[in-house]
Structure 1
Amino acid sequence: MRGGERDDGRDESPEERADRKWGDLLQEIRVAQTGVQILFGFLLTVVFQPAYWRLSAADRTLYMVTIVLGAMAIGALVAPVAFHRVVTGRFIKPEAVVWASRLTLLGLTLLLLTMTASLLLVLRTATHDDSYVPWIVAGVAGLYVLWWFVLPVVLRMRAGRTDRASGTDTGGAD
């Protein structure tokens, strides 16, 4: 075990670990970026459709909020790339990985909000019925939270308990 980091059977320096984590993070970001960019592209076209002006004022406001959330999600998910480009060669990759990971988590949270707001807007427009649409949207949002955040946190906590029980330091999260 080196420098308080968890002994996970890998024989890697802190720099090698940062390189591996950076590569893993980039793969994750590629998946999320593609989805949010496609969703955002479709959302951008809505305002140019004649039916947009038939939306209620509340739905047009919801649309604008959704667009802003989508733009922020893209910004947060692209930020690690810009962040890496600016700090490259400064020998601070371990810190850059931590910040890039935080920005990615922020981007995923904003993506969750964008998708939830988009679903709400589409279902309100499609059904013209607010009696059950919020319940459907809340259910879907709840599943996103469960799948994207709760399950990984539970797994992480279980792994932490296992590591503590065996005396292994869980220093840095992978």
Structure 2
Amino acid sequence: MTFDDQEWDRTARQETEIERLDRNWASLVQELRVVQTGVQFLISALLILPFQAGFTTLSQPMRLLYLGTVSAAMGATVFLVAPVSWHRILFRRHRLGNVVAAAHRCAIAGIALLGLALTGAMILVMDTVAGTIAGAVAGVVVATLFVVAWVVAPWRWRHGRHESGG
């Protein structure tokens, strides 16, 4: 059975296309607020690290991991804030459908980069505090948790039976 989300919105919610877009935009903005705060905190913590005395003792591989982690966090910020720019530039141009679609893609990219940044940060901390093996194990565990919680679980629901309620 093919499920038409827009048709469901029209019949179950008695919602016009514009109302649906407004609701989707409001949901996306609220979701972005949640993740933007975490990304900003992460970047703040990462940016002060090179100015700490102990940073010079990091091995070359850990320095590269640090740079990759900072880069992923910055990339996450770019993608998670981009919808605001899209909305401002296209404001009152009747392009809300484009904005919502682009914001959705940006949110997915930003969340993926956030997962990479958080995994890298966990490896850095565990490696520094408990050693290389602990860092590697923690990295695998955290990456697995992200994949299961952020990708596998929602995809199983997405492709499973649809229940009413949105």
Using the size of structure 2 for normalisation, the TM-score is 0.90
1:5 aligns with 2:2: no
Q: What are the within-5 Å matches in structure 2 for residues 19-168 of structure 1?
A: 19-128=22-131, 130-160=132-162
Distance 1:4 1:156, change over 3 A: closer
Shift of 1:6: 2.9
Q: Work out whether residues 77 and 103 of structure 1, in 8 Å CA contact, stay in contact via their aligned partners in 2.
A: yes
CA distance in 2, matches of 1:158, 1:6: 19
Give the alignment's Cα RMSD to 1 decimal. 1.8
Q: Work out whether residues 73 and 111 of structure 1, in 8 Å CA contact, stay in contact via their aligned partners in 2.
A: yes
Shift of 1:145: 1.1
The Cα offsets for residues 16-68 of structure 1, whole Å up to 9 and x where unpaired, read as 10000000000000000000100110100001101111111111111111111
State the match for 1:168 in structure 2: none
| Structure 2 residues without counterparts, runs of 5 or longer | none
Q: Work out whether residues 39 and 73 of structure 2, in 8 Å CA contact, stay in contact via their aligned partners in 1.
A: yes
| Structure 1 residues without counterparts, runs of 5 or longer | 164-173
Shift of 1:13: 1.1
Return structure 1 stretches of 4+ with deviation > 2 angstroms. Answer: 130-133
CA distance in 1, matches of 2:146, 2:5: 34
Q: Work out whether residues 18 and 97 of structure 1, in 8 Å CA contact, stay in contact via their aligned partners in 2.
A: yes
Larger helix proportion of the pair: 2
Using the size of structure 1 for normalisation, the TM-score is 0.86
Q: Work out whether residues 77 and 104 of structure 1, in 8 Å CA contact, stay in contact via their aligned partners in 2.
A: yes
The aligned length equals: 160
CA distance in 2, matches of 1:53, 1:78: 32
CA distance in 2, matches of 1:131, 1:62: 15
